[in-house]
Amino acid sequence: MRIVIVGGVAGGASAAARARRLSESATITIFERGKYISFANCGLPYFIGGDIKEQGSLLVTSPEMLKNRFNIDVQTEKEVTSINPIAKTIAVKDLKTGVDYTVGYDKLILSPGAAPIKPQLEGIGLPGIHVLRDIPDMERIHALINKPKLRVTIVGGGYIGLEMAEALIHRGCDVRLVEATAQVMPPLDPEMAAFLHTELSSHGVMLLRNVSVTGFTKEKDVITINLSNGKKMLSDLVVLAVGVRPETALAQSARLRLGPTGAIAVNSQMRTSDPDIYAVGDACEVINLPLAGPARIPLAGPANRQGRIAADAIFGKKTAFRGTQGTSIVRLFTITAGMTGANEKQLKQAGIDYEKVYIHPMNHASYYPGAKPLHLKLLFNKKDGKVLGAQIVGQEGADKRIDVLSMAIQASMTVYDLEEAELAYAPPFGSAKDPVNFAGFVAANTLRGDAPICHTDSIPGKAFLLDVRTEKEHESGCIPGSYLIPVDELRSRLSEVPEKSIIVAYCKVGLRGYIAQRILMDNGFTCLNLSGGFTTYSLVDNPKKA
């Protein structure tokens, strides 16, 4: 069996190692266009930022190691230029010598990845405009930022854009981030992304939202960036981080079917439309769970699992890729944003009948020193309570809760399951009622009708807005037009609440609002609790807001 793998990072390297573990007799060859195989591409920004000191530590393995340990033949700086699926051969160009040659295969695994998008803009090819995909890209940027106060403009606020913003601030650059949409980190909903906007600004990143780049010019060493708002920005360096495009040229050379997203279509065994060709990683299309639709979700975890599965499939093992729910995480200075499953934008678009709740609990027992708030948005099916998605921004413990909720989604658990979830508690780690339980309580109370909620964008027009916080809190900021009755005084001041209005109660985070709501509902009032309270309200960009 001759197994040929195109691309030696993440998915490709995983497939090769797994294939060898399944067969000592197979011939396994990896062709990698670049100089390095199996490098830690997720680590590139951290080397630039200085967290990672040794470039060598990014090299997870080497051709020698793959040869010695796995008897895998690694051919670097060899570009596969086309596939002949009838003859079952690939055309290879040796990038060092320029020599072209042909190699046969029995099974071919494509792991070409995705390339940074370079939009068709005037001046896009000017020197000083960089992308960050591989180690040579990283080396180039790293070598250029040693000057103090270097003006660096990052275009695009996704993972790479944010990680680069952090890295470049750490290195003393004057950093600007230009984002064409209203928010950074597109998998988050806008009100959750608001925390990232604040974090960027408070660490000195100049953030421009709703502004796109229309072109570049360069004079001497200075790049002028033309912006859609008519302004110009001077920059010494530009990092383009506007997303990636699956590398499908090779697949197209073999007339492999592409999916509706433009990536390579595969079945759950990662097999393409050609029975002897597999594709894994960022170049292929996956099923997005729980939306059940095709998607491109370029993440390292799924790529690694896909590589393993492709090798399993070749050797007749019964494993299947289940799709991905986009579970991911990004650290930005002092905060962490995690996300899993569908976001609200996607649920709306898919027409799924969802509800959402917001909570703002502490990451561990508040009486234990160092407790820090988590901000959690939970999305769930309005009918059966099934968890559909979650977004968390916080510090320590944010990663834990997003993983717990990711497992809940994978296991088709409901908000009722979250109420009963048993999580490890000791004061340094959590609370007897964990944030995950709290999210379940709030969501289940809503679905059971015990505590109906509303949101900033769905406060009924003629509602009586009731602030149940303290006078001091009310005076330091409140929803315009709201009436103050602190929750502890509510029972004795019920006569001040209009009987025929819909009451919308709110507090700081939603807990006192809920207690007030229960008092009111049990006294015959109609009352909604504003989910997430004034904290969530303050995050939402809403024209209805004063």
Q: Would you count residue 505 as binding a second copy (CB under 8 A)?
A: no
- C-beta of residue 340 within 8 angstroms of C-beta of residue 515: no
- For a second copy, the binding residues in 438-467 under the rule CB under 8 A are 448, 450
Q: Would you count residue 493 as binding a second copy (CB under 8 A)?
A: no
For residue 264, give the DSSP letter.
B
Q: Would you count residue 484 as binding a second copy (CB under 8 A)?
A: no
Q: Which residues contact 38 (CB under 8 A, 6 or more apart)?
A: 8, 9, 10, 13, 59, 60, 61, 66
Q: Select from 229, 281, 288 the least CA-distant residue to 251.
A: 281
Q: Would you count residue 415 as binding a second copy (CB under 8 A)?
A: no
Looking at 81-89, 179-187, 236-244, 398-406, which segment touches a second copy (CB under 8 A)? 398-406
Q: Report CA-CA distances (Å) from 364 to 193, 395, 417.
A: 23, 11, 21
For residue 449, give the DSSP letter.
T
Nearer to a second copy, 51 or 496 (CB): 51
- For a second copy, the binding residues in 136-195 under the rule CB under 8 A are 159
What would the two tokens of residue 527 be? 């009352």
List the one residue from 31, 514, 525, 534 that touches a second copy (CB under 8 A). Answer: 514
Instruction: Number of residues interacting with a second copy: please give it, by CB under 8 A.
Output: 89
List the one residue from 129, 434, 456, 503 that touches a second copy (CB under 8 A). Answer: 434
Q: Select from 220, 241, 222 the least CA-distant residue to 232.
A: 222
Beta bridge partners of 528: 504
Active-site residue (options: 42, 284, 507, 527): 42
- For a second copy, the binding residues in 320-379 under the rule CB under 8 A are 321-322, 324-325, 327-331, 336, 338-340, 365, 367-369
- Minimum Å gap between C-beta 67 and a second copy is 9
List the one residue from 104, 262, 301, 498 that touches a second copy (CB under 8 A). Answer: 301
Q: Select from 228, 153, 167 the least CA-distant residue to 44.
A: 167
Looking at 102-110, 128-136, 409-417, 477-485, which segment touches a second copy (CB under 8 A)? 409-417
Widest CA span in the chain: 89
Q: Would you count residue 478 as binding a second copy (CB under 8 A)?
A: no
List the one residue from 7, 12, 34, 43 that touches a second copy (CB under 8 A). Answer: 43
Q: Would you count residue 419 as binding a second copy (CB under 8 A)?
A: yes
List the one residue from 264, 310, 519, 527 that touches a second copy (CB under 8 A). Answer: 519
List the one residue from 87, 222, 249, 411 that touches a second copy (CB under 8 A). Answer: 411
The sheet carrying 328-332 orders its strands as 328-332, 335-341, 387-394, 375-381, 354-359
Nearer to a second copy, 10 or 213 (CB): 10
- Vertex 102: Cα angle to 101 and 107 (nearest 5): 145
Sequence letter at residue 138: M
- Minimum Å gap between C-beta 160 and a second copy is 11
CA–CA gap between residue 171 and residue 374 (Å, rounded): 28
Nearer to a second copy, 180 or 407 (CB): 407
Whether the link from the prior residue into 116 is cis, omega within 30° of 0, is no
- Counting DSSP H helices and E strands in the chain, the numbers are 15, 30
- For a second copy, the binding residues in 92-111 under the rule CB under 8 A are none
- For a second copy, the binding residues in 53-72 under the rule CB under 8 A are 53, 57-58, 60, 68-71
Q: Could you confirm whether 173 is annotated as catalytic?
A: no
- Percent helix, strand, coil in the chain, to 5, is 30, 30, 40
Looking at 38-46, 73-81, 104-112, 203-211, which segment touches a second copy (CB under 8 A)? 38-46
- Location of structure tokens 């001077």: 234
Half-sphere exposure in the Cβ direction for 364 (13 Å, CA): 16
Q: 3-state secondary structure string, 188-217?
A: CCHHHHHHHHHHHHHCCCEEECCCCEEEEE
- Minimum Å gap between C-beta 207 and a second copy is 21
Q: Would you count residue 267 as binding a second copy (CB under 8 A)?
A: no
What would the two tokens of residue 133 be? 């995909």
Looking at 170-178, 432-440, 456-464, 500-508, which segment touches a second copy (CB under 8 A)? 432-440
- C-beta of residue 193 within 8 angstroms of C-beta of residue 185: yes
Q: Which phi and psi (to 5°) does residue 64 adopt? A: -65, -45
Nearer to a second copy, 18 or 78 (CB): 18
Beta bridge partners of 59: 39
List the one residue from 103, 399, 452, 540 that touches a second copy (CB under 8 A). Answer: 399
Binding mask 13-32 for a second copy (x = CB under 8 A): -------xxxxxx-------
List the one residue from 81, 433, 538, 540 that touches a second copy (CB under 8 A). Answer: 433
List the one residue from 350, 407, 502, 540 that touches a second copy (CB under 8 A). Answer: 407
Give how far the C-alpha of residue 132 lies from the chain's centroid of Cα atoms, to the nearest Å.
17
- Minimum Å gap between C-beta 515 and a second copy is 6
List the one residue from 146, 353, 522, 546 that touches a second copy (CB under 8 A). Answer: 522
Query: Catalytic residues, which ones?
Result: 42
